[in-house]
Amino acid sequence: MKYVDEFREPELIARTSEEIRRLADPRRHYRFMEVCGGHTHAIYRFGLKDLLPPNIELVHGPGCPVCVLPMGRIDDGLSMAASSDVIFTAFGDMMRVPGTHGSPLEYKARGADVRIVYSPADALKLARANPDRQVMFFAIGFETTAPSTALTLMRAKAERIRNFSVFSNHVTIIPAIRAILDSPDMRIDAFIGPGHVSTVIGCRPYEWIARHEGKPLVVSGFEPLDVLQSVAMLLVQLQRGEAKVENQYRRVVPWEGNRAALKAMAEVFTLRSYFEWRGMGFISQSALALSEAYAEWDAEKRFQVPGIRVTDPKAAQCGEVLKGVLKPAQCKLFGKECTPERPIGALMVSSEGSCAAYYQYEYRKSQLVSIPA
């Protein structure tokens, strides 16, 4: 199959759902974690959990890069936006994420030069057009978006564009999964592996999960049939007592990854010793900083970054939701103090946030009131 409509074919979806019911042992409760926020949105958008037997529980993982960024890093980035000679640029996902003193959009309302860009190349273009201003790109994302940042920095270096810099908040997926598995309050039977990240890193980096942790992992696409087929593949492994990595998303994901993208990342970035994740604390070797060869374009070296550490509002339970300990609706603030219009946490505003997905597709549906004829 190669067309989107084929992956949404009702008959195929019904057959796959029935196959899942046949494979699932009714005496067992399964907990599968979908690591990627894109999968979470697909599951809610297409109502996929309603097609699964009740003993299969889908657990939402930390695969939303905006969501896992601690508030202190947002404050650090916005501290640069406060300077009159700086143009602060970021993806649209970041614009409503709250820091201690407001979101990027609120800083813009107060007079800061904050602009949405669709790629780091757009930020570099701004730097070319404004040679008398400093243009800072707030880089965020897993390995999915890191190559575009790396290639943009390589272009900036080649052209010697000195008024451009990057505030790197790129994080890596493997240490996050390891932290989940090391969490004492978490039980996961298998993983629906992230499709977007895997287009870059491939499938091989996940093999330790199967080999050392005994957990099956299936890299999945994002259409309804992709996700359901991945669940079926996991059930087959568990039924056979196997634990291996499989690639359901072969039409997009190469087993060895994208070598050109990995090469660019290796030139531009280096691993940070430690990096703080929202709700998960400091995780070793889990984020990317600019290498010494690109220090001249490193915003953390160019500007005075305060290195702020801030805890989330006490009532917000973002950390527990990110780790899969709580479902979004189990947070005390969900749908009350915390809504898309007035978000308390990043999970409610990011396009990959599990709270945003649940609110849009599940919570609002439950709030509909029948109007008598």
Contact 209, 181 (CB under 8 A): yes
pLDDT score at 76 = 94
Select from 61, 1, 63, 66 the least CA-distant residue to 348.
Answer: 66
Same domain, 60 and 189: yes
Residue identified by tokens 């029935």 is 18
Token pair of 234 as six digits: 């996991």
Classify residue 133 by burial, with Cβ atoms within 10 Å: 0-12, 13-18, 19+: middle
Confidence of residue 361 (pLDDT cuts 50, 70, 90): confident
Using CA atoms, how far residue 163 sits from 47, 264, 303, in Å, is 47, 22, 12
Q: Rounded to an integer, what distance in angstroms lies between the CA atom of residue 122 and that of residue 115?
A: 10
Considering the domain boundaries, does residue 29 fall inside one?
yes
Reply yes or no on whether the pLDDT at 204 is more than 60. Answer: yes
Q: Rounded to an integer, what distance in angstroms lies between the CA atom of residue 65 and that of residue 149?
A: 15
For the chain, the domain total comes to 3
Confidence of residue 365 (pLDDT cuts 50, 70, 90): low
Same domain, 114 and 26: no
Amino acid at 91: F
Select from 246, 250, 231, 241 the least CA-distant residue to 18.
Answer: 231
Residue that wins the pLDDT comparison between 103 and 353? 103
Average pLDDT over residues 238-250: 97
Using CA atoms of 10, 13, 17, 23 in order, give the dihedral in degrees to the nearest 10.
Answer: 150
Reply yes or no on whether the pLDDT at 251 is more than 50. Answer: yes
Reply yes or no on whether the pLDDT at 373 is more than 60. Answer: no
**CB atoms closer than 10 angstroms to residue 182:** 10
CATH code assigned at 167: 3.40.50.11740
Average pLDDT over residues 32-43: 93
Confidence of residue 370 (pLDDT cuts 50, 70, 90): very low
Confidence of residue 364 (pLDDT cuts 50, 70, 90): low
pLDDT tens-digit profile of 162-197?
999 999 999 999 999 999 899 887 889 999 999 999
pLDDT score at 121 = 98
Average pLDDT over residues 288-305: 96
Percentage of residues in the chain having pLDDT higher than 70: 95
Indicate if the alpha-carbon torsion angle 361, 363, 364, 369 is positive or negative.
positive
Considering the domain boundaries, does residue 136 fall inside one?
yes
In the chain, what is the straight-line distance between the N-terminal and C-terminal CA atoms, in Å? 44
pLDDT score at 329 = 85
Q: Are strands 274-277 and 281-284 parallel, antiparallel or unpaired?
A: antiparallel
Token pair of 325 as six digits: 């300990």
Residue that wins the pLDDT comparison between 236 and 337? 236
Confidence of residue 369 (pLDDT cuts 50, 70, 90): very low
Q: Which of 217, 247, 277 is the last residue of a domain?
A: 247
Same domain, 205 and 154: no
Same domain, 139 and 287: yes
Residue that wins the pLDDT comparison between 321 and 106? 106
Contact 285, 273 (CB under 8 A): yes
Considering the domain boundaries, does residue 262 fall inside one?
no
Same domain, 275 and 241: no
Reply yes or no on whether the pLDDT at 368 is more than 90. Answer: no
pLDDT tens-digit profile of 309-337?
777 666 778 878 887 778 888 888 888 88
Residue identified by tokens 């430690």 is 274
Domain encompassing residue 324: 318-367
Tell me what the pLDDT averaged over the chain comes to.
Answer: 91
Average pLDDT over residues 288-308: 93
Same domain, 168 and 275: yes
Average pLDDT over residues 16-43: 95
pLDDT score at 112 = 96
pLDDT score at 1 = 64
Considering the domain boundaries, does residue 256 fall inside one?
no
Considering the domain boundaries, does residue 313 fall inside one?
no
Token pair of 253 as six digits: 């994901």
pLDDT score at 2 = 65
**Overall pTM > 0.85:** yes
**CB atoms closer than 10 angstroms to residue 343:** 23
